[in-house]
Amino acid sequence: MTPRRGKGVPKKYCSERCRTASRRSREGNGPGASGRKRRPLPDAARGAAWSLRKDIERIERIVADDRFTQNSEQVAALLRSHLAYTAEACQGLLSRINHSTGE
């Protein structure tokens, strides 16, 4: 930090952003603060699950589309890595959920 010239309080923070983050942290409403209001976890899970289902159904409709055959190479190139990641992530999540519930 470059010290201020002349009268006044010396700089304590490198930027306004750091000053604000420090104040919020002291007040207990910064990142990770327990006082912030968050959606109940079951509600967040319900919303995420429905969103995931809608997205999967949308991709199923794309693959079932009568134009898919003529565009299969382009569509596959766009979807392949995303579907592979999603399948792997979902397997990991399912395993974690089943493990935590004793199934």
pLDDT for 37: 84
Q: Is residue 22 part of a domain?
A: no
60, part of any domain: yes
| pTM for this model (two decimals) | 0.60
Residue at 72 is within a domain:
yes
| Number of domains within the chain | 1
Asked if residue 15 belongs to a domain, the reply is no
Summarize the confidence of residues 60-88 as an average pLDDT.
96
Report the pLDDT averaged over residues 58-64: 97
Calculate mean pLDDT across residues 8-33: 74
Structural domain containing residue 60: 37-100
Q: Output 67 or 29, whichever has higher pLDDT.
A: 67
Give the pair of three-digit tokens for residue 75. Answer: 């569509």
What is the pLDDT of the chain when averaged over all its residues? 86
Amino acid at site 11: K
What local confidence, expressed as pLDDT, does residue 14 receive? Answer: 81
Q: Is residue 55 one of the residues assigned to a domain?
A: yes
Rounded Cα distance, 39 and 55, in Å: 22
Is residue 13 in a domain?
no
